[in-house]
Amino acid sequence: MKADTENLKPRPSSGFTLLELMVAMVILTIAMSIAFQAFSGTIHAWKRGTEVVDGIKHGDFAMNQLASALDSTLYFFNPRKTYAFTIERGNAGSLPADTISFVTASSAFMPDGSPFAKGPHRLKLFIDDEDGSPALFASALPAIAEDEDEESEYVEEPMLVSRAVQGLEILIYDEETEDWTEDWEKENDVPERILIKIYVASEDEDEEPIVFTRVLEIPVAKSVEAKLTGPSKGAQTGGGTTPSAGGPTINVGGGNLPQQ
């Protein structure tokens, strides 16, 4: 009888207690949270790296095309201001959105088959809306004075240059103050030195845009002093072309990357 009674006594359980399970769950939750944050950070860094590489391609293309067009700028003195270099200031959200217009002999920005690709034309670069977001556009028309009626008659459909480029800023070098300025009020002139900034915005609003910066000297500016009235007219004063002031810089998140 005594042996049977001992067999009826409860034996110690070999499982986990409720407290042990709760502690294990807390540790597992913390470990999963750390792993998720590390994974999320890696994915974000990979996406941002890919975006920066794509942005550099778009910004570099736009900058090189604009530099080529400006290097081939044409200017002859004309009371009708046919060859005037013009800048209009604007903004697209938090980014500058200037409009630049000048006469050039370059085929930069011109698509295959464009009638303006093989001759002088007025090139206009501007930021406009594309599917709800700013984008860089180019348009061309014959090298005539920018009269609204003439522009509407001859201008081609604006060409989308890049959806990634969402800001454009043009600054003029003022020799008197020895500083860059937004002021450009000369109606029949071409600046000798300009600073170009191209902004490639990120899809993530918290990320800073990639900023391409280049200083260019426009060779034809010397003809402004000479007041040449046509390609067959001789210059009244000497002067030669001036090379570009230097290579571009790329600013990504506050750091400058010199571009070769």
Given pLDDT bands bounded at 50, 70 and 90, which one contains residue 144? Answer: low
Could you state, in order of their start, the residue ranges of all structural domains in the chain? 48-258
End-to-end CA distance of the chain: 98
| pLDDT at site 215 | 94
Alpha carbon distance 198, 211 (integer Å): 6
- Decide which of 232 and 130 is more confident: 130
| pLDDT at site 244 | 46
- Over residues 189-197, the mean pLDDT reads 92
- Decide which of 7 and 21 is more confident: 21
User: Any idea which residue has 């599917």 for tokens?
Assistant: 131
Q: What SS3 class is residue 72?
A: coil
Alpha carbon distance 189, 221 (integer Å): 8
Q: What percent of the chain has pLDDT over 90?
A: 33
- Decide which of 191 and 45 is more confident: 191
Given pLDDT bands bounded at 50, 70 and 90, which one contains residue 222? Answer: confident
Span 32-56, pLDDT tens digits:
888 888 877 777 777 777 777 888 8
Task: For the full predicted model, state whether its pTM sits above 0.95.
Answer: no
Cα atoms in the Cβ-side hemisphere of radius 13 Å centred on 196: 28
| pLDDT at site 235 | 40
DSSP codes of every residue in 119-184: S-EEEEEEEEEETTEEEEEEEEEESS---HHHHHHHPPPPEEEESSEEEEEEEEEETTTTEEES--
Look at residue 240 and tell me whether its pLDDT is greater than 50: no
Residues 6 or more apart from 87 whose CB is under 8 A from it?
98, 99, 100, 101, 170, 172, 184
Position 183, amino acid: D
pLDDT mean across residues, the chain: 79
- Over residues 243-249, the mean pLDDT reads 55
Strand order across the beta sheet in which 133-142 lies: 86-88, 99-104, 121-130, 133-142, 159-162
CB–CB of 214/194 below 8 Å?
Answer: no
Alpha carbon distance 87, 78 (integer Å): 19
| pLDDT at site 236 | 39
- Over residues 99-122, the mean pLDDT reads 89
| pLDDT at site 104 | 93
Position 218, amino acid: I
DSSP codes of every residue in 80-118: T-TT--EEE--EETTEEB-EEEEEE---TTPPTT-TTTT
CA dihedral (141, 216, 170, 190) positive or negative: negative
| pLDDT at site 238 | 37
Look at residue 121 and tell me whether its pLDDT is greater than 50: yes
| pLDDT at site 154 | 62
- Pick left, alpha or beta for residue 109 (phi over 0 → left; psi -120 to 50 → alpha; otherwise beta): left
Look at residue 152 and tell me whether its pLDDT is greater than 60: no
**Paired residues of 255 in beta bridges:** 252
Look at residue 139 and tell me whether its pLDDT is greater than 50: yes
Span 60-76, pLDDT tens digits:
999 999 999 999 998 88
User: Any idea which residue has 């930021």 for tokens?
Assistant: 127
Given pLDDT bands bounded at 50, 70 and 90, which one contains residue 213? Answer: very high
